[in-house]
Amino acid sequence: MEVNVMVQPQWQQYPEVYEKLALVQTRLADRTRLRVPPVNARVQAQVKAGGKMLRSGLMFMLARFHSIDNPALISAGAAIEALHLATLEHDDVLDTAATRRGMPTLTATAGNKAAIYAGDFLFSVYFELLAEAAPTVDNVGTNARIMHRIFMGELDQNAVSRGTKLTVHQYLRQISGKTAALFGLAAYQGATLSGASAAEQTAAYRYGRCVGMAFQMIDDLLDLTGRPTQTQKPRLEDLQNGIYTLPVLYALQQDDGTLAALLDQIGTEDQALLQAATLITQTGVPAAENLATAYTSKALAALAAFPAGAARDELRDLTKRLLARTK
């Protein structure tokens, strides 16, 4: 069946990865067809939009060290994208999000029930594709354990009410499950299904997890330092919604009470949001940038376990570009 796909241009400089990602999108589009037309239309639109495909893209970048041509990698990549989409569908319900990837969300167009069931359906697609890709029962077990971490991260995040001042440790635990575990799984699957050694598989998971940690920190920084044209969301949206991310938490560690008072006034005093953002940018952003840089360095160090050559050099360069988007 012919399926129109849209793979991000950033992958074109790696032709073999670009080709595999197109096959992943086609496989996922074919497996996610539903009998309810309005729900099917929205799910298919999200699949074909593709997003950045960072997780499955990194999976194939890791597979290049050995054999990128294992057919199981296509199913594994589609499984990872299905799992990611499933979590996004549920996030949209919880966040009452109106758009995703520049398009109306399912929860906005068909309601929460349809979106929740579509998310559940995508989880089932993940398991079906995993059954095709997993080479051993142990591999299924690894996927299950990482999926457990993802859900625990989501539960940790959703247990936090608006305006809750977390500790930095609590924040790191949240993003370790919410974001980093799926990056780790993608890298691990790329290494495992391409024939990597046990040491390389461990290093791949470490690499992916550290990339995911830095990626989420940088996303949080962009709420304060980014341009809406780059982030595709309003500036200071997290802060206005009472979501206290890493730069806010670091700024609160140095606060004499001024920032805390401003945070409490957001929503009632028009100037409080901008004043709080200025303080956080001065006192919290530098420390958050330093920690994101530290995780980036850890990710790059993990790549030392892999053979020197073009595949490693290109993955190092891609990682640096991916984790340098702070403005």
Encode pLDDT of 169-184 as tens digits. Answer: 999 999 999 899 999 9
The per-residue pLDDT for 156 is: 84
> What is the per-residue pLDDT for 84?
94
Tell me the pLDDT of the chain averaged across its residues: 91
Average pLDDT estimate for 239-257: 93
d(CA 91, CA 154): 9
Q: How confident is the model at residue 228 (pLDDT cuts 50, 70, 90)?
A: low
Q: Say whether pLDDT at 272 is over 50.
A: yes
Instruction: Give the C-alpha separation, 92 to 64, whole Å.
Output: 34
Q: What is the pLDDT of residue 220?
A: 94
Per-residue pLDDT band at 2 (split at 50, 70, 90): very low
Q: Is it the case that residue 90 has pLDDT exceeding 80?
A: yes
pLDDT at 51 over 80: no
46-60, 96-110, 258-272, range with the lowest pLDDT: 96-110
Find the mean pLDDT for residues 256-275: 91
| pLDDT value at 144 more than 50 | yes
What is the pTM for the complete model shown? 0.93
Cβ contacts of 264-273, under 8 Å, gap ≥ 24: 264/163, 266/239, 266/240, 266/242, 267/240, 273/236, 273/239, 273/240
Q: What band does 1 get if pLDDT is binned at 50, 70 and 90?
A: very low
Give Cα separations from 176 to 38, 67, 134, 318 (angstroms): 34, 29, 24, 21
User: For residue 275, what are its two tokens?
Assistant: 């004043």
What pLDDT, on the 0 to 100 scale, is given for residue 96? 82
- For the ranges 40-49, 66-75, 271-280, the lowest mean pLDDT is seen at 40-49
State mean pLDDT over 281-289.
Answer: 96
pLDDT at residue 230, rounded to an integer? 66
Q: Range(s) for CATH 1.10.600.10 in the chain? A: 1-133, 137-327
- pLDDT of amino acid 232: 63
Three-state secondary structure call for residue 104: strand
- Residue 145 pLDDT exceeds 80: yes
* pLDDT score at 235: 85
Which residues, 6+ apart, have CB-to-CB distance to 208 below 8 Å?
58, 62, 180, 183, 184, 185, 186, 187, 188, 299
Can you tell me the distance from the alpha carbon of 275 to that of 78, in angstroms, rounded to the nearest whole number? 44
Which pLDDT tens digit goes with each residue over 20-40? 999 999 999 999 999 989 889
Give the C-alpha separation, 7 to 50, whole Å.
6
Instruction: Report how far residue 184's alpha carbon sits from residue 61's, in angstroms, rounded to the nearest whole number.
Output: 13
Model confidence at 327, in pLDDT bands (50, 70, 90)? low
CATH 1.10.600.10 fits 137-327, yes or no: yes
What is the reported pLDDT for 5? 62
Q: Which of 40-44, 227-231, 288-292 has the highest mean pLDDT?
A: 288-292
> Which fold does the domain 1-133 belong to in CATH?
Farnesyl Diphosphate Synthase (1.10.600)
Question: What span, in angstroms and rounded, lies between the C-alpha atoms of 223 and 322?
Answer: 17
pLDDT band at 289 (very low <50, low <70, confident <90, very high): very high
Helices (H) and strands (E) in the chain, counts: 17, 2
Cβ-contact 240, 218 below 8 angstroms: no
pLDDT category at 326 given cuts 50, 70, 90 is low
Q: What is the pLDDT of residue 49?
A: 78
Write the DSSP symbol of residue 9: G
